[in-house]
């Protein structure tokens, strides 16, 4: 007996089974982004550039979801989330990568990267290709582009003559509390002093510390210029962030979609890099107007002293042989 209800059910099932063939192309692939960046920061705004670029080059293909302020995953948890397939995109730091790819710790060392231009040449060239291959193998993520995060400079409570690391002897330089940061502070010639970021302003005001180091935008945002008298342009750490995607998502895409993602990431990175460099250049004039003395030390003397300290340390033991020399030779 051909029951009407059975017939309707069968027809419905046949219709539904055909739907994916026609509708699948209309389904947008979720692209969840997690970042600790606050809305006003350039590496938060760059994700809108990324989204707009994808919407233009691949209309209807991707559902880009931007989550700021670490609202989706806390800072540092993104690589594991991407490896599990619970997150598609994030920015990861050299410190994040070095936890799983120890040789990458070379980029957490002072003066390993000279300036933002060299940074881009390193990571967009053979060195970057070699290391990013290891990142893909060990972390199950693919790096799409390199962002400039800022260059750390010294900011002193009282002005002094600073030409070489010897001029910082006895200076209580506030650093983040980890051993890696404290090593850098000592390598600069100062007496590295651990102090929470929230206590730095008062520490400078009262003399608990003599100096702090941060990229210039942070020094302005935290108003450290109100309680300091000098910026020493040591440029001791050119910091990077890497736009990365989960291999689970990336490898499921076709070559054309992968290329569109790379292009969108590069557009986002360029937007961040250009604006961050402009801001840093403008801040020199800002600090001058606030009455701070700007000092240009012998950066080469600092570089040689700091790199010698790292080469003699345990940190250098995990660096691939000859890598530091190849980085230094990159022009």
d(CA 133, CA 145): 13
Answer whether residue 19 shows pLDDT above 60: no
Task: Calculate mean pLDDT across residues 13-25.
Answer: 42
Answer whether residue 9 shows pLDDT above 70: no
List 34's β-bridge partners, or say none: 67, 90
CB atoms within 10 A of CB 287: 20
325 phi/psi in degrees, rounded to 5: -65, -40
d(CA 156, CA 165): 14
For the chain, which residues make up each domain, given as ranges?
26-329
Helices (H) and strands (E) in the chain, counts: 13, 9
User: Considering the entire predicted model, what is its pTM?
Assistant: 0.78
Answer whether residue 72 shows pLDDT above 60: yes
Query: How much is the pLDDT for 17?
Result: 42
Answer whether residue 110 shows pLDDT above 70: yes
Helix (H) / strand (E) element for 260: namely helix 255-289
Q: Give tens-digit pLDDT for 239-258.
A: 999 999 999 999 999 999 99
Query: How much is the pLDDT for 202?
Result: 97
Residues counted in the chain: 331
Which of 176 and 146 is assigned the larger pLDDT? 146
Q: Does residue 164 sit in helix, strand or coil?
A: coil
Which of 41 and 293 is assigned the larger pLDDT? 293
Query: How much is the pLDDT for 26?
Result: 62
Task: Calculate mean pLDDT across residues 69-98.
Answer: 92
**Per-residue pLDDT band at 79 (split at 50, 70, 90):** very high
CB atoms within 10 A of CB 42: 23
Helix (H) / strand (E) element for 306: namely helix 299-311
Please give the CATH architecture assigned to the domain spanning 26-329. 3-Layer(aba) Sandwich (3.40)
- Helices 255-289 and 42-57, packing angle to 10 deg: 150
- In the block, residue with structure tokens 């020094």: 219
What one-character DSSP code corresponds to residue 163?
S
């Amino acid at each position: 007996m051909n029951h009407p209800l059975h017939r309707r059910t069968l027809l419905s099932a046949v219709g539904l089974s055909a739907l994916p063939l026609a509708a699948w192309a209309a389904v947008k692939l979720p692209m969840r982004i997690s970042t600790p960046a606050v809305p006003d920061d350039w590496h938060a705004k760059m994700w809108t550039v990324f989204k707009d670029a994808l919407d233009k080059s691949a209309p209807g293909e991707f559902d880009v979801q931007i989550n700021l302020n670490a609202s989706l995953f806390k800072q540092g948890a993104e690589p594991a989330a991407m490896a599990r397939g619970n997150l598609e995109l994030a920015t990861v730091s050299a410190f994040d990568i070095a936890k799983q790819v120890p040789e990458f710790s070379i980029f957490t060392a002072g003066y390993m990267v000279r300036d933002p231009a060299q940074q881009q040449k390193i990571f967009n060239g053979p060195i970057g290709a070699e290391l990013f291959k290891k990142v893909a193998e060990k972390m199950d993520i693919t790096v799409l582009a390199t962002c400039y995060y800022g260059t750390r400079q010294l900011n002193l409570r009282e002005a002094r003559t600073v030409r070489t690391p010897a001029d910082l002897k006895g200076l209580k330089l506030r650093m983040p509390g980890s051993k890696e940061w404290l090593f850098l502070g000592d390598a600069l010639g100062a007496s590295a002093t651990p102090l929470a970021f929230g206590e730095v302003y008062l520490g400078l005001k009262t003399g608990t510390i003599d100096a702090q180091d941060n990229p210039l935008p942070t020094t302005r945002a935290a108003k450290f210029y109100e309680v300091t008298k000098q910026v020493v342009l040591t440029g001791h750490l050119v910091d990077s962030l890497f736009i990365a995607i989960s291999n689970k998502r990336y490898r499921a895409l076709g070559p054309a979609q992968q290329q569109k993602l790379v292009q969108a990431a590069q557009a986002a990175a360029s937007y961040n890099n250009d604006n961050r460099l402009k801001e840093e250049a403008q801040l020199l004039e800002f600090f001058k107007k606030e009455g701070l003395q700007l000092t240009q030390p012998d950066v080469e003397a600092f570089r040689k002293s700091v790199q010698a300290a790292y080469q003699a340390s345990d940190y250098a033991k995990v660096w691939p042989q000859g890598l530091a020399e190849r980085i230094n030779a990159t022009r």
